[in-house]
Amino acid sequence: MGQRAALYCRVSTADQSCDRQERDLLAFAERAGYDVVAVFKETASGSKDDRVERGKVLTLVRARQIGVVLVTELTRWGRSTTDLLSTLQELEACGVSVIAQTGLQFDLRSPQGKLFASLMAALAEFERDLMRERIRSGVASAQERGVKFGRQPGVRVKADRYQARVLKLREEGCSYRQIARDLGLSKNTVMEIIHRHR
C-alpha cells in the first residue's frame, strides 16, 4: 500500500472534460505506487475563488487523510502566484506535497521546494507591485480627465437620499429615535437632516 493521494482535475469551461486528466493521473498514480483515495473534478476558471472541489481536497489535507495531491500541471491547482504559494504553504504545514504528472514535486521542505517558494514569493510581490502601479496610473489618468475621487465636500449621499422620508416622519410627530429605527439610520443622521432644514 503506497502513500495516500487525492487527484485534483480542473477544466476552465463547460465544453471541456476532466476525463483525460483523471485517466492520466490514475495511470501516473499506479506507476508511482500511490494509493488513490479520492478524485476531485471541477469546472472553474483559474481566476475564480469559489473552487468547491479544491476546498474538499484541502479539507482532506487538514484532516491528515492524504499525504499527497496529484495534478496534471501546477496551473490546474493555483489561481495565481500568490494563491499557489499560500496553498502550498498550507499543504506544507500539514506535511502534504503537490506532485505534477511531469514528476515535479512541490514539497516546500525540500531544497528544490524552498527555491521554488522563494521564486514564487518574489513573483507574487512583483504581481502586487504591478497591480499597485496599474491602479496608480489609472487614478492619475482619470484625475487628468477631471474625475474626482473620494467623498466631495458638502455631499451627503445617505442623508440626501433619506431627507424627504425623515422630514415627512418628523412632520407626522415621530421622534428622532423612532425615525432612525424605522429607516435604519443613526439618530445623529436624523438630527443632522432635520436641523439642516429648519
116-145, pLDDT tens digit by residue? Answer: 767 766 776 777 777 788 888 888 888 888
Torsion sign, CA atoms 117, 118, 122, 128: positive
Q: Mean pLDDT for the chain?
A: 82
pLDDT the model gives residue 23: 93
At the topology level of CATH, where does 4-111 sit?
Rossmann fold (3.40.50)
Contacts of 85 (CB under 8 A, 6+ apart): 117, 120, 121, 124
pLDDT of 155 higher than 60: no
CB 113 within 8 A of CB 104: no
2-16, pLDDT tens digit by residue? Answer: 789 999 999 888 888
20-73, pLDDT tens digit by residue? Answer: 999 999 999 999 899 999 999 998 765 556 688 999 999 999 999 999 999 988
pLDDT of 106 higher than 80: no
pLDDT of 183 higher than 70: yes
The span from the CA of 134 to the CA of 131, in Å, is 5
Contacts of 24 (CB under 8 A, 6+ apart): 72, 101
pTM (predicted TM-score)? 0.57
pLDDT the model gives residue 29: 92
- If you average pLDDT over residues 74-95, what whole number do you get? 81
| Strand pairing class (68-71; 35-43) | unpaired
pLDDT the model gives residue 148: 78
